[in-house]
Amino acid sequence: MQRLAPTLRFPEFKINWVESRIEDLVSSYKLGGNYQNSIEKNAYPLIKMGNVGRGYFVTNKLEYIVGDIPAAEDKIQEGDLFFNTRNTLDLVGKVAVWRNELPTAYYNSNLLRMKFENNYFFNYVFNSFWGLKKLKRVASGTTSVAAIYTKDLMRLKVSTPQELSEQQKIADFLSSVDKKISLLKEKHALLTQYKKGVMQKLFKQYIRFKDENGNDFPDWKTKLLSKLADKNNLKNKDNAVNAVLTNSAKSGIVNQGDYFNKDIANQGNLTGYTVVEKNDFIYNPRISELAPVGPIKRNHIGQGVMSPLYTAFRFKDENVLDYLEQYFNTTMWHRYMHSIANFGARHDRMNITSADFYALPIPLPCEGEREKIVSFIKALETKVNAVNEQIELTKTFKKGLLQQMFV
């Protein structure tokens, strides 16, 4: 056995770590059952490889066992450690400890349940910088279909403290970091939900602001998009512009090469693409879970070209841009889009005529109330972004710990 010690260590522990095979450390291991499953909800939720992350479980999308009643031995208990044996080459070998994410759950044959003296400690061993490197070396298969076979996993060597108290202290410390990340994520989700609800109430006029003198603002007006904006039909003649942009429901207007890590458009033939400028608004008719009628986003990048499948338009009054950017982040305009859409042959894309699109009615308050609405929403966004920054900083802190506290 090779004697080792990590870079970062609690000062009360002096005895070197030892390198051992997994088979000498694990007390038992078992694959789950080969169950038929469905998205139809019942009493037997099934945890599959897609539900396992690196150190956590995802339970917002579940499938359920159908047919036979699952074996009692496949029921998950708190503290069970699971190893994902089959996945893509990048994802195979995901490990997480079950922390009662659901009251009842079972696991399938792509997951290996292992029992160690301290499952929480070994969760961090496998998810450490060094653990991930070792797992990657024993993974076999193609990019899309890969496996880590039990026999190879059992021969894998990992370094662990000889004192169980050190294992426990490391597990407790890193669990506290995970707990902080979990609480921050919960706070972020609550703030995001609150912001979403407040925005709906603002644009439905359930919440109204007063002017500087405490008086009511004037009634809102409704104007058609065609009266507020001009359609952008400028084509990219002679390929004069080659910065290809795309409209992402999650990220807004982004550089296509950065977003997809490669250029999708044919750089040699962009003459049919629309030239857009900063502050143009773009509608992408492709629907998704995040954008059920397709997203409308504002271009903050600058000049570029976009696919002719998108609808580009430019507002005549720059004073409405901030307000309308926030408006299009709500679902207030979705009902109208559904009412005019012809889904046709493609179920993943809204088929809307130009005339119907530009007849979109837009509620418009006076400038003073618009400014108050925008300022309020941006203040909420600042709070949401601050929590998100805390999450990322804590994740970075944990990543550093996982590199320095293990060997």
Count the helix, strand and coil residues of the chain and give each as a percent rounded to the nearest 5. Answer: 35, 20, 40
Distance CA(200)–CA(204), nearest Å, equals 6
Q: Over the stretch 301-315, which tens digit does the pLDDT of each residue have?
A: 999 999 999 999 999
pLDDT of residue 258: 75
Say how many C-beta atoms besides its own lie within 10 A of residue 172's C-beta: 11
The pTM of this model reads 0.85
- Same fold yes or no, 17-161 and 162-212+366-407: no
C-alpha distances (whole Å) from 308 to each of 110, 246, 359 are 44, 11, 20
The confidence band for 240, taking pLDDT boundaries of 50, 70 and 90, is confident
The confidence band for 266, taking pLDDT boundaries of 50, 70 and 90, is low
Q: By three-state DSSP, how is residue 95 classified?
A: strand
Q: Over the stretch 279-297, which tens digit does the pLDDT of each residue have?
A: 999 999 999 989 999 999 9
CB distance 279 to 321 below 8 Å: yes
Q: By three-state DSSP, how is residue 38 classified?
A: strand
Q: By three-state DSSP, how is residue 98 classified?
A: coil
Q: Over the stretch 159-191, which tens digit does the pLDDT of each residue have?
A: 999 999 999 999 999 999 999 999 999 999 999
Hey, what CATH topology would domain 17-161 get?
Adenine-n6-DNA-methyltransferase TaqI; Chain A, domain 2 (3.90.220)
Distance CA(110)–CA(32), nearest Å, equals 7
Distance CA(342)–CA(293), nearest Å, equals 12
pLDDT, the chain, mean? 94
Q: By three-state DSSP, how is residue 260 classified?
A: helix
DSSP secondary structure letters along 44-70: -EEE-GGGB-SSSB--SS-EEE-SSPP
The helix-helix angle for 367-404 and 164-203 (nearest 10°) equals 170
- Hey, what's the torsion of the CAs at 17, 19, 22, 25, to 10 degrees? -40
pLDDT of residue 342: 82
- Residue ranges per structural domain of the chain: 17-161, 162-212+366-407, 221-364
User: What tokens appear for 326 in the block?
Assistant: 């926030």
Q: How far from each other are the two terminal CA atoms of the chain, in whole angstroms?
A: 14
Q: What is the CATH number of domain 221-364?
A: 3.90.220.20
pLDDT of residue 271: 87
Q: What is the CATH number of domain 162-212+366-407?
A: 1.10.287.1120
Q: Over the stretch 100-155, which tens digit does the pLDDT of each residue have?
A: 999 999 999 999 999 999 999 999 999 999 999 999 999 999 888 999 999 999 99
Helices and strands: H and E segment counts in the chain: 10, 24
Closest Cα partner for 278 from 227, 312, 242, 324?
A: 312
Distance CA(47)–CA(66), nearest Å, equals 13
Distance CA(133)–CA(179), nearest Å, equals 25
Q: Which residue has the tokens 């296509």?
A: 256
C-alpha distances (whole Å) from 61 to each of 31, 79, 100, 185 are 22, 21, 16, 18
- Hey, what's the torsion of the CAs at 52, 54, 57, 61, to 10 degrees? -50
Distance CA(378)–CA(384), nearest Å, equals 10
